[in-house]
Chains A and B, each alone.
Chain A
Amino acid sequence: MVQLPVYLDHNATTPCDPRVVEAMIPYFTNSFGNAASRNHPFGWQAEEAVDYAREQVARLIGADPKEIIFTSGATEGDNLAIKGVFEMYASKGNHIITCNIEHKAVLDTCKHVEKEGGEVTYLKVKENGLIDLAELEAAIKPTTILIAIMYANNEIGTIMPMKEISAIARKHGVLLFTDATQAVGKIPVDVNKDGIDLLAFTAHKMYGPKGVGALYVRRKNPRVKVTAQIDGGGHERGMRSGTLNVPGIVGFGKACELAINEMEEEGKRLSVLRDKLESALLKIEEAYVNGDKEHRLPHVSNISFKYVEGEGLMMGFNKNIAVSSGSACTSASLEPSYVLKALGLGDDLAHSSLRFGLGRFTTEEQIDYTIEQVSNTVNKLREMSPLWEMYKEGIDLNTIEWAHH
């Protein structure tokens, strides 16, 4: 029996692993102390729990515990890294290089920096969703202080060539920040082997709780500093004030420990299931994978089903299967995914895309069920799609003069 509903939106968020919840519970009730209370056992207990979690978190990315700053999530980490470097290194320069498929938390932070007098270069990705390394190097100027390139993309799952990017950054003495939200806990990420100076990630994408994340800030070779964006009691070595979210941090630590132990096997299992799903869905006529298939997270597949619209497609099975679409039919702008458009996809293909994100608790039966449901709905909707009819009649849709909204 297939277990319903099927959750295939793990790039949006993941459920908490029950082992994570179990680890967190005592820190809501008995061990509720403030980690900054230095004068009684309640505080000591909380501090000890945070220290332990800090080690677990650091170990997952090959960092020193002292290099971990706990935040409320990756959005805060992105803000702290970019604004913090921009302010701290103002005397060195004001130029930041990023790319056009970053998460909005990076893009909008860069827009903010531009308003503050910063200069930002937005590299265009290639058709496969990866940046061109020669273009990156050519964009570096004497005023460049930061390169901000995501580790893996949230919509298409493509993995950027981090080692090559960091080699370029090192060569030019520029700091490298990466939003590794989608990568950490899914594939091996090591700040030293990868040559990363700042790295943001979050617990809820890796079976931990929502509302807690971390920013890694390198302490040696080079020693990196960021200007605090939240002022107050001077927590987290002055870089992020605010009472620590002890239960959340404990859960985050546990999630990292589980990832260290299980990531490799889980990645293999999920890539087999993902490939099964993908190859079955690609048997549908006029279906295409978006983004590089090789350099890609093991659990993600983004597919466009030409001539059907993504939101309409999801409606065919969203009672039982949760996925995401690059169609933005619900947004006021009616603009489809900027990530898919950045790959050079026409708006029509971007509107026709679905993102499948598998996870720890996804079963093979659920994948079989998804293949059947998605295939049936695509066929059903094509029967009522005027575009499909035109395509079948051999009409070139580009020759039609559409009444654009």
Chain B
Amino acid sequence: MAYSEKVIDHYQNPKNVGTLDKSKNNVGTGLVGAPECGDVMRLQIEVDEATGLIRDAKFKTFGCGSAIASSSLATEWLKGKTVEEAVKIDNMTIVEELNLPPVKIHCSVLAEDAIKAAINDYRKKNGLEELKFEESVIH
């Protein structure tokens, strides 16, 4: 199976690899997947408390090229968005952007789950109710 050029580009030059200080109140961390499944994503957001915008986003991913590319792309899209906008990022837009084949759709689902987990972690830390999401179908 050949990878799309965009997947290869994100794999070779991943954007926003790194770690944010998870002890800070304005940082939300999402850790999804499992080593046994061959995919683990950790995605973090840092929210600018004055503007409500996501100021920074970082990821680290254990997984295949498509998983790395999905999380790299997700961090790019998160920056500059409000938390409310970020919640709406849908896995299928990641699939379209990266041209993922059907067997790799679960990578995009994982990225969407990571975003939601990070947002909920941020909300929890700031005394907000955790958002409820429908169970992702494709895992």
Contact = CB atoms under 8 A, between A and B. Distances in A.
Interface SS majority for chain A: loop
Interface stretch (A27-35, A109-117, A385-393): A385-393
Contacts of B42: 386
A403 B32 contact: yes
A388 B68 CA distance: 15
A316 B14 CA distance: 12
Contacts of B33: 402-403, 405
25 contacts: A309-B62, A309-B63, A309-B67, A312-B11, A312-B68, A316-B11, A327-B38, A329-B39, A329-B63, A330-B1, A330-B103, A332-B103, A334-B106, A346-B35, A347-B37, A384-B14, A384-B17, A384-B68, A385-B40, A402-B35, A402-B36, A403-B32, A403-B33, A405-B106, A405-B139
Interface of B: 1, 3, 8, 11, 14, 17, 19, 31-42, 59-65, 67-68, 103-104, 106, 113, 139
Contacts of B61: 384-386
B64 A386 contact: no
Q: Contact residue range for chain A?
A: 20 to 34
B35 to A, nearest CB: 4
Given A308-B62, A310-B38, 10 more contacts: A309-B39, A311-B65, A315-B65, A330-B103, A331-B103, A347-B35, A387-B40, A402-B40, A403-B34, A405-B106
Interface of A: 307-312, 315-316, 327-332, 334, 336, 346-348, 351, 383-389, 397, 400, 402-405
Contact of B38 (A315, A332, A336, A386): A336
Contacts of A385: 40, 60-62
Contact of A334 (B1, B37, B62): B37
Chain B CB within 10 A, most for which of A307, A309, A316, A351: A309
Contacts of B64: 309, 311-312, 315, 327, 329-330
A402 B61 CA distance: 14
Contacts of B67: 309, 312
Nearest to B103: A330
A332 to B, nearest CB: 6
A213 B71 CA distance: 46
A389 B58 CA distance: 14
- Count chain A CB atoms within 10 A of each CB in B14, B32, B60, B64 and give the residue with the most: B64
A248 to B, nearest CB: 29
Q: Which of B42, B59, B62, B67 has the most CB of A within 10 A?
A: B62
B121 to A, nearest CB: 13
B35 A384 contact: no
B37 A386 contact: no
Contacts of A400: 31
A386 B40 contact: yes
A79 B34 CA distance: 38
Nearest to A402: B34
Contacts of A347: 35-38
